Amino acid sequence: MHIDGGCHCGHVRYEAEIDPADVSICHCTDCQSLTGSAFRVTVETAADSVRLTAAPPKLYVKTAANGRKRLQSFCGECGSPLFTTGEGAAAAFWGIRWGSIRQRGELVPRRQIWCRSAVPWIADVPGLPGVAGD
């Protein structure tokens, strides 16, 4: 599937080819901290299928407890998270942050990871009262 997207302010833009079956939810504590939310939704794709079409993102390198490095790409202007990848062989794949994708409504998560870190109230969200707009 062809997608396009970018950051909130439009400074960083991209296009990519992805498989809609590769959308996942991550509940790890790093994703919670880096998003300021309960989880992060990502679609993984081959690095060579992503093409930047505007300014390049900034990079933050997160070193995990096991020493593995994850490269976090974000907009240097508005701070929107955009991509993640690893080093060495892990750099062959990028995780595209779901919220940055224009076609995100068509991309349904197919799996969850790091569920032991999921916040205990996550299953209660569908039962909460909601408001349709602002």
Q: CA-CA distance, 69 to 62, in Å (whole number)?
A: 6
Q: What is the pLDDT of residue 64?
A: 82
Per-residue 3-state assignment (H helix, E strand, C coil) for 72-123? EEECCCCCCEEEEECCHHHHHEEEEEHHHECCHHHCCCCEEECHHHCCCCHH
Give the span between the Cα atoms of 124 and 130, in whole angstroms: 13
Query: Of the ranges 7-16, 101-110, 121-130, which one carries the lowest mean pLDDT score?
Result: 121-130
The more confidently predicted of residues 53 and 134 is 53
What digits encode the pLDDT tens for the residues 27-49? 999 899 999 999 999 999 999 99
**Largest alpha-carbon pair distance within the chain?**
46
Residue 131 carries which side chain, given as an amino acid letter?
V
Q: Structure tokens of 132?
A: 């349709």
Residue 134 has pLDDT above 80, yes or no: no
pLDDT tens profile 53-95: 999 999 999 998 788 899 999 999 999 999 999 999 999 999 9
82 close to 75: Cβ distance less than 8 angstroms: yes
Q: Of the candidates 40, 44, 53, 22, which has an alpha carbon nearest to the alpha carbon of residue 94?
A: 44
pLDDT at 132: 86
Residues 6+ positions from 78 with CB-CB distance below 8 Å: 7, 8, 9, 11
Question: Where residue 18 falls among pLDDT bands split at 50, 70, 90?
Answer: very high
Domains of the chain, with CATH numbers? 2-119 (2.170.150.70)
- Roughly how many angstroms between the first and final C-alpha of the chain, as a whole number? 31
